[in-house]
Amino acid sequence: MALIQTRPSRKSLILAPVGLLWLALVCTGFAWLVRYEYSPGRASTAPVSWPEKSRIARATRQPTLLMFAHPRCPCTRASMAELARLTAQCADRARVVVLFFRPSGTGQDWSATELWRSASSLPGVTVEWDQDGVEARRFHSETSGQVLLYDVRGSLVFEGGITSSRGHEGDNAGRSALVAILNGDALHLPRTPVFGCSISDSQMAPTAKP
């Protein structure tokens, strides 16, 4: 019995490359998302000593921990969750201040976001507005979620982020290092990457309705 050979239909010939193109686009998009998730924000080096012109009250009997944040950065939700875990683990061992960027000409509807409310609800944490990012510049902080820890003498002992990627909660090197420092253990990792958006982006869309 002779085999009957069938030719691919015109529709099949069209759908095959379309399917391959779609698959390539999906793979490209997925690769971009993974790359973005694990790409840290702009790195900077904080002052080794507490800036004299800073208006932030520094504790003199315990370390002072600062977090610089953008109220509309979606990546910083995870950083705030990690800060909550950190303060729960090391309650009363440091003065903790979160400074939110707020550009001139904006009001409560722009800045009082869900992220700001989350920070304000943390026990023992002081939340302040950083008008036009003046304090962020003094401390050379450019990425939302940046954490700095200064000891009682005003010397920098840690700088970096407390998440392992953008928007990802869970165990990470930054929080572990801070817990070790505040517990008086030896420090092995004084600097970690920060995963977040630019602090001074005044055009960022809100993460949630205020």
Q: Is residue 51 situated within a structural domain?
A: yes
What per-residue confidence (pLDDT) applies to 44? 78
Tell me whether residue 9 is in a domain: no
- Confirm whether 12 is domain-assigned: no
pLDDT per residue as tens digits for the range 181-204: 999 886 666 889 999 999 987 666
Q: What is the pLDDT, as a whole number, of residue 40? A: 58
In a domain, 126, yes or no: yes
Tell me: pLDDT of 124 over 90. Answer: yes
- Say if 3 falls within a structural domain: no
- The reply to whether 208 falls in a domain is no
- pTM of the entire predicted model: 0.79
C-beta of residue 160 within 8 angstroms of C-beta of residue 107? no
**Maximum Cα–Cα distance across the chain:** 96
pLDDT at 19 over 70: no
Strands across the sheet containing 95-102: 125-131, 95-102, 64-69, 146-150, 156-160
Whether 157 is in a domain gets the answer: yes
Report, in this order, helix, strand and coil percent for the chain, each rounded to 5: 30, 15, 50
What pLDDT, on the 0 to 100 scale, is given for residue 122?
96
Contact 158, 187 (CB under 8 A): yes
Which has the higher per-residue pLDDT, 174 or 35?
174
- pLDDT tens, position by position, 55-109: 999 999 999 999 999 999 999 999 999 999 999 998 889 999 999 999 998 877 7
Domain that holds residue 121: 18-203
Residue 210 lies in a domain: no
Q: Give the domain CATH number at 28.
A: 3.40.30.10
- Rounded CA separation 35/31 (Å): 6
Number of domains in the chain: 1
* Gap between the Cα atoms of 63 and 68, Å rounded: 16
Over pLDDT 90: what percentage of the chain?
A: 60
> What is the radius of gyration, based on Cα positions, of the chain?
23
Burial class (CB in 10 A: 0-12, 13-18, 19+), 135: buried
State mean pLDDT over 160-175.
90
Q: How much is the mean pLDDT over the chain?
A: 82
